Amino acid sequence: QIQLVESGGGVVQPGRSLRLSCAASGFPFSSYGMHWVRQAPGKGLEWVAVIWHDGSNKDYADSVKGRFTISRDNSKNTLYLQMNSLRAEDTAVYYCAKDRNGWYLEDWGQGILVTVSS
Amino acid sequence: DIVMTQSPDSLAVSLGERATINCKSSQSVLYSSSNQNYLAWYQQKPGQPPKLLIYWASTRESGVPDRFSGSGSGTDFTLTISSLQAEDVAVYFCQQYYATPPTFGQGTKLEIK
């Protein structure tokens, strides 16, 4: 059974940093690309970042480029999102998700809420 | 970026009736060499993460009831629920994965009439 469990969310002041983690189990983690997708309260879905299965390539939404860094540790089956210089508009539920043969997302975590507020 | 526009924003359908949700992309998501449309549909129920329903525009994900179907090509796509059940109340999103960044439609809220 595939499981993706996010952690590390919470309330943070504007300009500060936060690191999200996503613990994966039930599938060969090192074989799949992984994504972060976010959803602001009551809003739609916004793709944030992707990392290739081996970590060799990464890509980001323009809205987070230069502030967020996606990474992974395949020995620990864990995906990360380092978020720096946080803004109020980064407030959202952050989901990690697994892709398959293309960037459609076949499995999602339950999500973790990040609130950026003073 | 490819803009995905869904219609309608909300929809109320009677139980057992057909529900149709449309999704239009600002440019074609058909990859000519493979003849595949890079288009997926997701269902999101309140308090839950999105769930993959359809990929490659018309391939139903394993375990998804066959009342859900996807169609269309190029820039115009449709998600059809042939006979609405109570458990289908949700928000539905389309997503293109033809180009980076992958982008989602704004969502269509489906309710029971």
Interchain contact, B49 vs A111, CB within 8 Å:
yes
Partners of A50 on chain B (C-beta within 8 Å) are 100
Rounded Cα–Cα distance for residues A95 and A48 (Å): 10
Residue A47 Rama label (left phi>0; alpha psi -120 to 50; beta) = beta
Rounded Cα–Cα distance for residues A77 and B54 (Å): 27
Mean pLDDT, contiguous 10-residue spans, chain A (118 residues): 97 98 98 97 97 96 98 98 98 96 92 97
Q: Are A79 and A32 in contact (CB under 8 A)?
A: no
- Show the tokens assigned to B99: 């180009």
- Mutate one of B45, B95, B98 to test the A interface: name it (highest A CB count within 10 A): B95
CB atoms within 10 A of CB A109: 24
| pLDDT score of A102 | 78
Chain A contact for B97 (CB, 8 A cutoff):
yes
Question: How do B4-7 and B19-25 pair as beta strands?
Answer: antiparallel
For the segment B36-60, the average pLDDT, to the nearest whole number, is 97
| pLDDT score of A100 | 87
pLDDT band at B44 (very low <50, low <70, confident <90, very high): very high
Rounded Cα–Cα distance for residues B50 and B113 (Å): 23
Question: How do A10-12 and A112-116 pair as beta strands?
Answer: parallel
* Closest CA relative to residue A70, chosen from A53, A58, A88: A58
| pLDDT score of A101 | 75
Chain B contact for A105 (CB, 8 A cutoff):
yes
Half-sphere exposure of B104 (CA within 13 A, CB side): 24
Chain A contact for B52 (CB, 8 A cutoff):
yes
Interchain contact, B102 vs A46, CB within 8 Å:
no
First to last CA, chain B: 36
Give one DSSP letter per residue of B14-38, joined into a string: -TTS-EEEEEEESS--EETTTTEE-
Q: What is the DSSP letter of B9?
A: S
Chain B contact for A54 (CB, 8 A cutoff):
no
* Closest CA relative to residue A36, chosen from A25, A24, A50, A23: A50
pLDDT at B100 over 90: yes
* Closest CA relative to residue B101, chosen from A47, A75, A28: A47
For the segment B11-39, the average pLDDT, to the nearest whole number, is 97
A23 sits in which H/E element: strand A18-25
Rounded Cα–Cα distance for residues A62 and A48 (Å): 9
